C-alpha cells in the first residue's frame, strides 16, 4: 500500500511510474488526495467537538466535587448536542477512511526505475543466462513420463486421494525432494538466514499484511469454519512475523528462511502448461525473506540474486534471469527478477524463483518500522524470494539429468540423497 503523504507530494511521479504498469492512475490518485483531504478536515472537526465535550465533563466532575450540583446538571444539557455531532462526525470519518483505504488497496506498487515497459511475460528482459543445455539421448522424456517410468511420483494416486495437482512422491522421488529441501535450507542458513518453521494456516490479518487480501482471496484455500487461509507461500507467515513491529535500526538487516508447503487454488489454469509438476495446488518451497534499511534494499536484492545463482550453479542446471516488465511485475513488488530453469524435454523455461523488493509497500500494510538514528520511525523495506520452489527444480533435474541408464543425481545432492542415480 502506498503512503498517502507520498502520493500527495509526488502526484505526477506516481501517475507517471504507474503508467509503466499500463495503468492510468490519474483518476485514482486525484480521488485519494481528495478523500484524504476531506478525511483530515472531518478529523479536525471531530477532534474539536470531542475536546469541547471533554472539557465540559471535567468541569462537571469539579462541580460535583464542590457540591454545586445545579450548575453541574445545567452543564449536562450542553453535552447532548456535542454527543450527537461527534457521533455523526465519527460516522463520516469512518466512511471516508474506509473509502480511502479501499482505493489504496487497489493501487499497486510503484515500479522501480529499471522496470522495463511491457504488457506481458514476452516483454520481460533477460539479464543473465548460465549453464549449458545438455544434449539428451533420443528417447529423452518429459518429467511426468520419467516419474512414471521410475515410479517416483504418482499423479493418479494424488488424484484419488485429493484431486488434480496434489501429486504423491514416493521412494527415491520422495527422498530427492527431501534432499533438496535440506540442501536449500543449509545453503540459506550458511548465508546467514535464520531458519523458521512457520504455520501453514494464517488468519485474515496476515493475509492482509502481505497483500493477498482483500483482493486475491480467490487464490487461497479458505478454511471457513475457522476463517483461516492455507498459505500460498511462506512469505505470508514469514513476513507477518514483523507485523506491527518497531525495530531498532541496529537490528537490521534481518534474514529468515523457511520451508513450507504452499497451497494455491490456481483457478482457471488448465491445459498442457499445467502438466506434471509444472503447476500444482500443493507444492513445497523454501523461501528467503529480508527486512532491510531502505538505503540498502537494492543491494540486498542483488545479494539475493547472487545467492540463488550460486545454488543453481551448484546444481548445474541451465537457467536464466529475467527482469519483469511493468505488465508482469506483481501488484506489491517494485522490482522482481524471475529465475527460470530450462526444461529440456519440454523445450521451455520453467519459473523456479521470483525475487522481489517490495520497498515499503508491504511494510506500510504491516506497520513494520524501525527507529532511525534520529529516533524517527520509518518504514522498513521487505524483500523475498524463493530459494527455491521444489517441483520445477525437480522437473529440471529429472529432465536435464536423464541418461539411458537412469537419472543422475547432481553431485551436491548426493550427500543428502544417499544415492547417485534413480534407475
Q: State the minimum distance, in angstroms, from the CB of residue 102 to RNA.
A: 18
Size of the site for RNA (CB under 7 A): 25
C-beta neighbour count of 185 within 10 angstroms: 17
Stretch that binds RNA, among 22-30, 42-50, 205-213, 332-340 (CB under 7 A): 42-50
d(CA 295, CA 367): 18
Q: Considering only residues 299 through 338, tell me which ones interact with RNA, judged by CB under 7 A.
A: none
- Rg of the Cα trace of the chain? 27
By CB atoms closer than 10 A (0-12, 13-18, 19+), residue 276 is buried
- On whether 266 is known to bind a ligand per the annotation, the reply is yes
Helices (H), 167-288: 172-190, 204-209, 235-239
Indicate whether 44 belongs to the interface with RNA (CB under 7 A).
yes
352 marked as part of a ligand binding site: yes
Does 65 contact RNA by CB under 7 A? yes
Annotated binding residue 354: yes
Nearer to RNA, 51 or 157 (CB): 51
Please report how close the Cβ of residue 270 comes to RNA at its closest, in angstroms: 37
| 338/126 Cα distance (integer angstroms) | 9
Q: Which residues 6+ apart lie within 8 Å of 284 measured at CB?
A: 177, 181, 259, 260, 261, 262, 389, 390, 391
- CA 41 vs. chain centroid, Å, equals 35
Instruction: Let me know how long the chain is.
Output: 423
Q: Does 246 bind RNA (CB under 7 A)?
A: yes
Residue among 186 and 204 whose Cβ is closer to RNA: 204
Residue from 13, 30, 76, 130 that binds RNA (CB under 7 A)? Answer: 76
Name the segment binding RNA (CB under 7 A); options: 16-24, 41-49, 193-201, 313-321: 41-49
DSSP classification of residue 163? -
Task: Check binding of 84 to RNA (CB under 7 A).
Answer: no
206 is in an annotated binding site: no
Non-local CB neighbours of 115 within 8 Å, separated by 6+ positions: 20, 323, 324, 325, 326, 329, 334, 335
54 forms part of the interface with RNA (CB under 7 A): yes
Separation between Cα atoms, residue 156 and residue 144, nearest integer Å: 11
Contacts of RNA in 106-165 (CB under 7 A):
none
Please report, for residues 114, 127, 332, 338, 355, the alpha-carbon distance to residue 329 in angstroms, rounded to integers and kept in the order given. 12, 15, 8, 10, 11
- 377 sits near RNA (criterion: CB under 7 A): yes
The shares of helix, strand and coil residues in the chain, as percent rounded to the nearest 5, are 50, 20, 30
Hey, how many other C-beta atoms are within 10 angstroms of the C-beta on 135? 7
Q: Is 79 in the site for RNA (CB under 7 A)?
A: yes
Residue 61 binds RNA (CB under 7 A)? yes
Q: Whole-number minimum distance, CB 1 to RNA, in Å?
A: 12
* Binding of residue 369 to RNA (CB under 7 A): yes
Interface pick for RNA out of 19, 23, 33, 50 (rule CB under 7 A): 50
Q: Which residues pair with 257 in a beta bridge?
A: 195, 288
Is 275 among the residues that bind RNA (CB under 7 A)? no
- Is 313 annotated as a binding-site member? no
For 226, residues 6+ apart whose C-beta sits below 8 A from its C-beta are 201
62 lines the binding site for RNA (CB under 7 A): yes
* SS3 (DSSP) at 129: strand
Report the residue number, 197 or 310, with the smaller CB distance to RNA: 197
Residue of 9, 34, 83, 215 interacting with RNA (CB under 7 A) = 83
CB of 294 to RNA, least distance (A): 16
46 binds RNA (CB under 7 A): yes
Binding piece for RNA, criterion CB under 7 A, among 55-63, 178-186, 205-213, 354-362: 55-63
Give the cell for residue 44. Answer: 479536525
56 is an interface residue for RNA by CB under 7 A:
yes
Judged by CB under 7 A, the stretch of 14-22, 36-44, 160-168, 319-327 that binds RNA is 36-44
Residue 99 as a binder of RNA (CB under 7 A): the answer is no
Question: Which residues sit in the known binding site for ATP?
Answer: 264-266, 351-354
User: What residues make contact with RNA under the rule CB under 7 A?
Assistant: 40, 43-44, 46-48, 50-51, 53-58, 60-62, 64-65, 76, 79, 83, 246, 369, 377
Question: Which residues sit in the known binding site?
Answer: 233, 264-266, 287, 351-354, 384
Amino acid at each position: 500500500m502506498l503512503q498517502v503523504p507520498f502520493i500527495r507530494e509526488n502526484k505526477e511521479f506516481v501517475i507517471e511510474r504507474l503508467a509503466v504498469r499500463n495503468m492510468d492512475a490519474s483518476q485514482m490518485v486525484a480521488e485519494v488526495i481528495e478523500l484524504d483531504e476531506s478525511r483530515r478536515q472531518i478529523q479536525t472537526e471531530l477532534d474539536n467537538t470531542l475536546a469541547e465535550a471533554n472539557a465540559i465533563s471535567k468541569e462537571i466532575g469539579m462541580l460535583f466535587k464542590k457540591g454545586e450540583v445545579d450548575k453541574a446538571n445545567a452543564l449536562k444539557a450542553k453535552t447532548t448536542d456535542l454527543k450527537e455531532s461527534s457521533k455523526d462526525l465519527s460516522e463520516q470519518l469512518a466512511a471516508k477512511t474506509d473509502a480511502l483505504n479501499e482505493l489504496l488497496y487497489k493501487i499497486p506498487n510503484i515500479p522501480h526505475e529499471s522496470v522495463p515497459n511491457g504488457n506481458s511475460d514476452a516483454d520481460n528482459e533477460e539479464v543473465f543466462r548460465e549453464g549449458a543445455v545438455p544434449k539428451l539421448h533420443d528417447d529423452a522424456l518429459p518429467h511426468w513420463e520419467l516419474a512414471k517410468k521410475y515410479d517416483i511420483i504418482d499423479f493418479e494416486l494424488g488424484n484419488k486421494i485429493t484431486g488434480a495437482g496434489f501429486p504423491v512422491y514416493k521412494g527415491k522421488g520422495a527422498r530427492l525432494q527431501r534432499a533438496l529441501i535440506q540442501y536449500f535450507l543449509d545453503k540459506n542458513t550458511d548465508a546467514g538466514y535464520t531458519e523458521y518453521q512457520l504455520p501453514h494456516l494464517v488468519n485474515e490479518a496476515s493475509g492482509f499484511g502481505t497483500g493477498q487480501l482483500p483482493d486475491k482471496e480467490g487464490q487461497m484455500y479458505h478454511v471457513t469454519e475457522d476463517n483461516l487461509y492455507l498459505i500460498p507461500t511462506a512469505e505470508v507467515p514469514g513476513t507477518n512475523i514483523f507485523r506491527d513491529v518497531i525495530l531498532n535500526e541496529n537490528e537490521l538487516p534481518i534474514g529468515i528462511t523457511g520451508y513450507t508447503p504452499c497451497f494455491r487454488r490456481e483457478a482457471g489454469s488448465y491445459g498442457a502448461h499445467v502438466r506434471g509438476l509444472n503447476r500444482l495446488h500443493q507444492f513445497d518451497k523454501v523461501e528467503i525473506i529480508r527486512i532491510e534499511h531502505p538505503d540498502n534494499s537494492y543491494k540486498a536484492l542483488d545479494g539475493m540474486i547472487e545467492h540463488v545463482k550460486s545454488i543453481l550453479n551448484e546444481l548445474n542446471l541451465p537457467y536464466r534471469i529475467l527482469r519483469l516488465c511493468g505488465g508482469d511485475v506483481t501488484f506489491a513488488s517494485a522490482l522482481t527478477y524471475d529465475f527460470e530453469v530450462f526444461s529440456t524435454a519440454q523445450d521451455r523455461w520453467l519459473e523456479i524463483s521470483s525475487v522481489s523488493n517490495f520497498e515499503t509497500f508491504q511494510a506500510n500494510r504491516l506497520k513494520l518500522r524501525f527507529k532511525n538514528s534520529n529516533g524517527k520511525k520509518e518504514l522498513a523495506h521487505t524483500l523475498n524470494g524463493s530459494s527455491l520452489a521444489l517441483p520445477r527444480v525437480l522437473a529440471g533435474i529429472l529432465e536435464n539429468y536423464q541418461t539411458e541408464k537412469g537419472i543422475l543425481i547432481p553431485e551436491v545432492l548426493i550427500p543428502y540423497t544417499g544415492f547417485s542415480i534413480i534407475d
